[in-house]
Structure 1
Amino acid sequence: MSSNRIDVHQHLIPPIYLDALRAHGIDAPGGRELPEWTPEAALGLMAEAGIASAILSVSTPGTAFLADTAEAVELARAVNDYAAKLAAEHPGRFGFFATLPMPDVAAAAAEARRALDDLAADGVVLLGNSRGTYLGAEGQDDLFRVLDDRSAVVLVHPADLPAETVPGIPPFAADFLLDTTRAAYLLVRNGIRRRYPRIRFVLGHAGGFVPYAAHRMALSIVNQTGASPVDVLEDFASFYFDTALSASAAALPSLLAFAEPGHVLYGSDWPFAPEPAVHYFNAGLHEFPHLDESARRGIERTNAAALFPRFGTAAPLPEAPLLARARRRLKQRAFRAVARAATKR
């Protein structure tokens, strides 16, 4: 059992953020009650779950529940200052993804510059949608330029859908997966993956439905834009993906078959995922029969170390096996034919 995982999907709930949520009557974001969180509890969980380092982020709703931009900026700055201080007090144990006051692009770009340049943030966290404005929609280039210039890592975290919930289905159970998928679709469809290639996007929770539905979505994008179907698929596969709540015998095969080598990272989702759930999915990762020790080590540590060198060293990524590459070329040729037929209808 691994004892030095790098967790790219672990949350913090700073006191000032908790107070702001409660002041606005938010006690169950995503349909799950706000859990208790302290740095000491986080370190205790990490010891029990074999997590050496955690890159912390604020979960949904971020600052999007504040309609006043000035208030959102103030809260984002306070959260990021708290996280930066926590990381400085626990070097090697904690890092953080900075919270940005979306959907205000100019304010988000300014806070991204401050957090990445002055606070030494390890990246930023962006919600799939902020008050109904989706990540990847038109008009966000000022933010993407800042992130691309700094080769930033961006954790794409789901939020509540901009629609009424279905009674009996809490948003975190199903809607979150669609929210991430919508954002990924727009990031590819609107050319952001191509125009800003230095941004490393990490899709939370194994990318929602992306690995499972990428070929279906690619056909739609080809029909809309006329883009190369292989380019579209490569854009989807070039995302990074974390395993938060997703290291199961059903989800892992699709994720590992789709993602590029080295692009699957460990995530716990604690404290929104309670400790028993963390241990359950950790066991699932270790019991999965189609992972050799090198691949498992990559997911748990070395793939993340390549993105965040201050947390450790990473071995070079292996080349895809010849048979796998040949099979991939055959699939690409077949997909080109299907895409051409679809566009002629």
Structure 2
Amino acid sequence: MPTIDVHTHFLPEPYVQALVRHGINWTGGVDLAPWTPEAHLQFMDEWGIDTGVLSCLAETGVYFGDQHEASELARNVNDIGADVVRRHPRRFGVFGAVPLPGVDAALAEIDHIYDDLDLDGVYLVSQVDGTYVGDPRWEPVYQALDARAATVLLHPVEPKETPDLPWQHWIGEYVFDTTRVFMTLVFNGVLDRYPNINWILSHGGGAVPYLGHRIAAAPRVVAAYRELVRRPIREYLRSVYYDVAVADSPVQVNTMVDAVGTDRMLFGTDWLYADGLFDRDQAGEHDLTRLLGARLGARVAGTNALRILPRLAERLADAEG
């Protein structure tokens, strides 16, 4: 069974240029560094990763305040990603960028991602200009993704407004932003109306597995919430997926297992942003078999991903044949 990294990033040159143009010279707590397929493959080989599903994002995804720029940037990075997959069909997949907040632009790019580029899914950042995934303003986007049974990586970004905090946002605020998205999807009914979307919550789902019991208390305590949810909250927790990128400590993994089960967990690294966490002197540190055993570890490492990434599964099967 292959090991598939569903949460790993690439930074093609047009994207880096856009970041620099907008005064962003670091992202996710690290300085911008050149990305090449060769460097990424070297990392994967060192850590026993067969395939990495790339997503191109930094503090704000592809939107920096100008919709036209966002649409052009998404198209550029998606086309580059598709070329990487063509050159390395067994080693890479791509989640395509979607240029929200413009709904029409997003719908056009979703068509391009699936119909022209044959990519593996899309990624959505937690919020764009203060609008969170799950907001009714983006309803046509959820409809389009549901119609394609899309797999969607949900990734946190810089919160629009926060207090003046003495730490970088990736340490804690990213986790909370992912949690806000899950609650928005639940209480706005998106998970009920669009059951065919395979949502992946980054970084172990933020605080969702840990707070599941607290979230479940809301409909019991407040009558208004009982009208918004159709199922027990535990079922909503198990209707999405959770990658273990920067969330593979024993406490985090065991919490996910208890809350949602291993059939809802996926392997991820958050490389290249998390490169500093991969200590070559600790070669077994990110091996899930040490916590889950061989059978369940293989499920999280690759089996679950192949189930929700059918185009990647087909490429891998063709290569074996």
Letter in 1 for 2:305: A
In 2, Cα distance between equivalents of 1:116 and 1:210: 30
Percent identity for Structure 1 against Structure 2: 36
Deviation string 1:3-51 (CA, Å, 9 cap, x unpaired) is x310000100010100111011111234432233111100110100111
| SS state at 1:16 partner | helix
| Residue aligning to 2:3 | 5
State the 1:139 CA deviation: 1.6
Structure 2: gaps spanning 5 or more residues: 315-321
State the 1:221 CA deviation: 5.0
State the 1:233 CA deviation: 2.3
Please say which of residues 212-221 and 45-54 is displaced more in the overlay.
Answer: 212-221
| Residue aligning to 2:125 | 127
| Residue aligning to 1:236 | 237
| Residue aligning to 1:143 | 141
Tell me whether 1:76 sits opposite 2:74 in the alignment.
yes
Letter in 2 for 1:62: G
| Residue aligning to 1:93 | 91
Please say which of residues 86-95 and 220-229 is displaced more in the overlay.
Answer: 220-229
Decide whether aligned partners of structure 1 residues 138 and 278 sit closer, same or farther in structure 2, where only a CA change above 3 A counts.
farther
| Residue aligning to 2:61 | 62
Checking the alignment, whether the CA contact within 8 Å between 1:219 and 1:229 is kept in structure 2 is: no
| Residue aligning to 2:317 | none
1:200 maps to which of 195, 198, 201: 198
State the 1:307 CA deviation: 1.4
Decide whether aligned partners of structure 1 residues 124 and 158 sit closer, same or farther in structure 2, where only a CA change above 3 A counts.
same
2:285 maps to which of 283, 286, 289: 283
Decide whether aligned partners of structure 1 residues 30 and 163 sit closer, same or farther in structure 2, where only a CA change above 3 A counts.
farther
| SS state at 2:232 partner | helix
Letter in 2 for 1:283: E
Decide whether aligned partners of structure 1 residues 38 and 165 sit closer, same or farther in structure 2, where only a CA change above 3 A counts.
farther
| Residue aligning to 1:174 | 172
Please say which of residues 154-163 and 101-110 is displaced more in the overlay.
Answer: 101-110
Deviation string 1:227-246 (CA, Å, 9 cap, x unpaired) is 45853321122110101011
Please say which of residues 300-309 and 37-46 is displaced more in the overlay.
Answer: 300-309
Decide whether aligned partners of structure 1 residues 93 and 287 sit closer, same or farther in structure 2, where only a CA change above 3 A counts.
closer
Q: TM-score, normalised by structure 1?
A: 0.84
| Residue aligning to 1:270 | 271
Larger Rg computed on CA atoms: 1
| Residue aligning to 1:115 | 113
| SS state at 2:278 partner | helix
Matches within 5 A, 1:295-314: 295-312=296-313
Structure 1: gaps spanning 5 or more residues: 314-345
Decide whether aligned partners of structure 1 residues 44 and 154 sit closer, same or farther in structure 2, where only a CA change above 3 A counts.
same
| Residue aligning to 2:247 | 246
Decide whether aligned partners of structure 1 residues 216 and 79 sit closer, same or farther in structure 2, where only a CA change above 3 A counts.
same
In 2, Cα distance between equivalents of 1:116 and 1:253: 35
Q: Number of paired residues?
A: 309
Decide whether aligned partners of structure 1 residues 90 and 32 sit closer, same or farther in structure 2, where only a CA change above 3 A counts.
same
State the 1:83 CA deviation: 0.4
Letter in 1 for 2:241: Y
Letter in 2 for 1:263: R
Letter in 2 for 1:117: D
Checking the alignment, whether the CA contact within 8 Å between 1:86 and 1:94 is kept in structure 2 is: yes
Q: TM-score, normalised by structure 2?
A: 0.90
Matches within 5 A, 1:9-48: 9-48=7-46
